[in-house]
Chain A
């Protein structure tokens, strides 16, 4: 922090006027952004305590909305699914992304083409991803049908219509769409590892796998955190994807909190309950993000002291 250019503590008035444009450029967007986040959050918290249905109204119902949401099967299933989906998706996309990055890091031919192939799903909208995967994974019209038509009629791949496995189809589609981002970050990390360290390890007689495990991967920790944060954000916004792929089905087996929020707020016209579900969702997020923020804080403190 010490080597940062600090602005004067108390600029004179004429100085203020002279620097007005830059203050405006810095503060107006930042304040607008922060203000919308804070006020929208507070607004949602407030609505979660009101009897709002079709449109926001004032009033006070205490914790009634929260109790109703927590007692509903939809929310209970959505919560379990979020844990499963969140953990499975983030872990698997980390592994896939890392594997792809390591593979691409082997000075292989056609790296540019391959990188583009792994990245292009990011360009596709969630709705399209969900729709296309709902075709592919549907046993009646997709992969299973194709394999049956090819003559292997005992082949079974019906996760999409299987209550217990359907959530994994969302994991598959989500990994397909977003692991390219993890790959790009890891590849960036691998490329910025100091070659001297690698050489030193090799001189010490470490084999390639050993060099990866012992020397290179540990340097990727900070990136891993970034990837987890970005993927988590992806997991939360995967709303359109789920809607197009399973729409919460079969039955209500693949409900997710974001779906429940939207459903309550806009389809069921229970705005108060939807807001309560949104607040619960934010609480879950905070439970994940606060440790991360604390970790960052400690890290920064250490960096300052060093």
Chain B
């Protein structure tokens, strides 16, 4: 099984794996190639092709050149906006989800199953349905058109996922550990801080990766609840692609897509190994 007994057919395995990998990589390769072709070059041929000469200018334009109406600053300022929303919302939803997951799994209190059930149901409530209610809520608490409003939305909505995964992870921790600590006089936070948190790295990496990518890639709330210069990076990408009334700028668009996806891609590149490890511990229950 996990030894070398498969040896004769290993060539086949490598072949299949390579084919799969090629299929998964193809879209990325196409975008990378297009990001190095000029708009005209793409328009003359097809979307799939080798750059005739490397058009690095696309990246300069995408990063700080192209215009969205009167603002010609490229994608750069919007990257910052996205970071200002994504980083706090990821931290808050992960931390609060970890504490709540820990409470639900290891402390048990009246109604815990109910509230846990309801919160995780949130995974299935479609986003577009929540747009108007959020508008009303943000109006009433005065956070409309602020980045903090978006942080609040993503924190609360993100809890559905973080609580689910943290709870499933913590439930595997032996309760004797907690009981012993309580007998020693440790309280809720002390146990969390001293015992639970040090054990949590794998699952926190999973929730951080998940939350970060989801919030970073969000568009609908991002354009509705911000104004002018506060828009997230997805809005800038759409501005490049949805110019229906114009000649497609596929080269610059591809470069912008690559730049905008870099933070999340890097997170998967470096965190991917822990992702699987964390899931091994967390989601399997």
Contacts and interface: CB of A to CB of B under 8 A. Distances in A.
Contact of B6 (A7, A41, A208): A208
A187 B276 contact: yes
Interface residues of B, number: 96
A293 B116 CA distance: 13
Given A146-B48, A258-B128, A135 B279 contact: no
Contacts of B21: 114, 117-118
Contacts of B229: none
B100 to A, nearest CB: 5
Q: Which of B116, B126, B216 lies at the interface centre, i.e. has the most chain A CB atoms within 10 A of its CB?
A: B126
Contacts, number: 269
A128 B213 CA distance: 13
Nearest to B102: A26
Interface stretch (B60-68, B69-77, B142-150, B156-164): B156-164
Interface in A126-146: 126-129, 131-133, 135-136, 138, 141-143, 145-146
B206 to A, nearest CB: 9
B5 interface: yes
Interface in B128-178: 128-133, 137, 155-157, 159-160, 163, 175-176, 178
Given A103-B17, A142-B47, A123 B133 contact: no
B117 A293 contact: yes
A276 to B, nearest CB: 11
A233 interface: yes
Nearest to A3: B175
A125 interface: yes
Contact of A34 (B97, B119, B123, B265): B119
Q: Which of A117, A123, A185 lies at the interface centre, i.e. has the most chain B CB atoms within 10 A of its CB?
A: A123
Nearest to A28: B96
B106 interface: yes
Contact of B118 (A1, A38, A120, A145): A38
Contacts of B276: 115, 184, 187-188, 191
B182 A138 contact: no
Q: Would you list the 4 A-B pairs with minimal beta carbon distance, nearest first?
A: A125-B217, A188-B280, A123-B264, A22-B188
10 contacts: A33-B156, A37-B122, A121-B24, A122-B213, A124-B261, A185-B283, A188-B283, A191-B280, A222-B285, A278-B128
Interface of A: 1, 3-7, 19, 21-22, 25-26, 29-34, 36-41, 43-44, 56, 100, 103-108, 112, 114-129, 131-133, 135-136, 138, 141-143, 145-146, 149, 176, 180, 184-185, 187-189, 191-192, 195, 198, 202, 208, 211-212, 216, 222-223, 226, 229, 232-233, 236-237, 239-240, 258, 261-262, 265-266, 271, 275, 278, 281-282, 285, 289, 293
